Amino acid sequence: MALSSEAPYPTCPFDYRYGSEEMRKLFRRDNMLRRYIDVEVALMKALEEVGIAPKGCYEVLSKCALRVKVEDIDRLESKYGHDIASLAIALAEACGECGKYVHLGATSYDIVDTAWSLIIKDALRIVKDKLRNVLNLLMRLSIEHKDTLMVGRTHGQHALPITLGFKLANYVYELSRSYERICDLEDRLIRGKVSGAVGTMAAWSDKGPKIEEIVLKTLNLRAHAITTQVAPRDGFAELVSALAILASQLDRLALEVRELSRNEINELIIASGKIGSSTMPHKSNPTIAERISGLAKVSRSLITVALENIPLMHERDLTNSSSERFLIPHTFLVIDQMLIDTERMLKSLRVNKEAMLRNLNLSKGTIMTECLMVKLVVKAGIPRHKAHLMLSELSKKALGRGVSLRDVINESDVAKLLSRDDINECFDYSRYLGSYEYLIERALNYAKNALRRC
């Protein structure tokens, strides 16, 4: 049995299902070749300016390059088995007399690595824009819910009251650190490689540094201080690692939403309106959050490739080539989809304040034992760890009997040691939020500074 259809379908989900069109197009073969040509053209400019290529060849190449098609290169590559050599031949054939000078003195990775920098620069611009949007949304939500009371949870267990704004401000801080990391790595990664075979610039005699300068000025890139035949691969590993860290942070946020939208908790709800299950009509699943967590695993896996690509042999071996054709597009497409999903998830979130209060009361006041413990120390002179044990016992008693801690406290020694006001204060959640406003503000300021960095 065959599914009728005319189109040839891709196998990779990033070619049809995940990732934005704006990101995808950066890594399509045509754009990759376009960027290679940009570098070849910039090189022609330099060769002309230093007097190796004839006057006018830069202008000529700029135009004739427009006539080269992907198919031309494919045809040549199937003959020569080398993509950049084929591109150089295609350009040469299209460009008459000036064609003679195409790629002169350059090695393939002058083109490939410099083009990677141009493409990655564009890709990081998209990542930064989307991350900025996520950060702005989170900052807005953090301010909006600055005072929305809920329980803080550690070990999956109720710990102490917090506010939703406080919780979200943590994500603001964490994600802004990823923004900083991107700024840091751009400085090391987005650099041109214009140094010829083995990196000595030998084919250009003494004009190498000048050629490098012109090419990179044209392309608006800085240079690596030195290279082998290829740019150093640590920059790529730093990129993949920084994006895997970001992915894992988004995973943490998605996990937060998935957990808080459990039926029993119900504090956050992702509005959906789509089919949740093919067989259970009642289902409404946090699928968008689950997709973020699913894709985070893909992002984390890629770092292995990037790290193994660092120890290339001597002036380079080719083992980075096939693996990077896979690594770099997928690294960006996966984070692209995750940021899109995170933005959509945040925009569709509904906050259920009633559930938050109901859950806060679920533990019958026992979450306030720390407050009482501190008061027992400070006001009643009980040693801290003794007070800890006392309240631990009282807590268990309350939970065991199913009554509120308040009731148990009233019958206990604590009621003799502390004043009624002190005890009352401890059972008022909104008075036990510490310096949350100060901390939220500090986190948001941190993020604003980070966003100004690059």
Residue 254 near residue 289 (C-beta atoms within 8 A): yes
The closest of 260, 191, 279, 273 to 231, measured between CA atoms, is 191
Which of 129, 140, 220, 294: binder of its own copies (CB under 8 A)? 294
Whole-Å CA distances, 268 to 98, 102, 255, 259? 64, 60, 12, 9
> Does 191 interact with its own copies (rule: CB under 8 A)?
no
Cβ-Cβ contacts under 8 Å for 61 (sequence gap 6 or more): 40, 41, 44, 91, 95, 98, 102
Catalytic option among 5, 78, 155, 314: 155
Strands 149-154 and 157-163: antiparallel
Q: How far is residue 267's CA from residue 264's CA, in Å, rounded to a whole number?
A: 9
Cβ-Cβ contacts under 8 Å for 307 (sequence gap 6 or more): 237
Rounded to a whole number of angstroms, the minimum distance from the CB of residue 393 to its own copies is 8
> Does 438 interact with its own copies (rule: CB under 8 A)?
yes
CB atoms within 10 A of CB 392: 13
Which of 22, 213, 308, 422: binder of its own copies (CB under 8 A)? 308
Q: How far is residue 163's CA from residue 145's CA, in Å, rounded to a whole number?
A: 7
> Does 56 interact with its own copies (rule: CB under 8 A)?
no
Window 103-162: residues binding its own copies (CB under 8 A): 103-108, 152-162
> Does 165 interact with its own copies (rule: CB under 8 A)?
no
Catalytic option among 82, 205, 277, 301: 277
Which of 114, 117, 148, 293: binder of its own copies (CB under 8 A)? 293
Window 404-433: residues binding its own copies (CB under 8 A): 405, 432-433
Window of 120-128, 343-351, 416-424, 440-448 that interacts with its own copies by CB under 8 A: 440-448
Which of 69, 140, 353, 453: binder of its own copies (CB under 8 A)? 69
Note if 278 is an active site residue: no
Window 2-21: residues binding its own copies (CB under 8 A): 2-5, 7-19
Which of 384, 410, 411, 453: binder of its own copies (CB under 8 A)? 384
Window 312-371: residues binding its own copies (CB under 8 A): 312-323, 325-327, 329-330, 333-334, 359, 362-363, 366-367, 369-371
Nearer to its own copies, 86 or 137 (CB): 86
Window 260-289: residues binding its own copies (CB under 8 A): 261-265, 272, 274-287
> Does 65 interact with its own copies (rule: CB under 8 A)?
yes
Helix axes 287-301, 319-348, angle to 10 degrees: 160
Rounded to a whole number of angstroms, the minimum distance from the CB of residue 421 to its own copies is 14
244-264: burial string, b at 16+ Cβ within 10 Å, e else: bbbbbbbbbbbebbbebbeee
* Residue 405, CA atoms < 13 Å, CB-side half-sphere: 25
> Does 453 interact with its own copies (rule: CB under 8 A)?
no
Count, residues near its own copies per rule CB under 8 A: 214
Classify residue 12 by its DSSP letter.
Answer: S
Note if 277 is an active site residue: yes
Q: How far is residue 353's CA from residue 151's CA, in Å, rounded to a whole number?
A: 11
Residues annotated as catalytic (active site), given as ranges: 155, 277
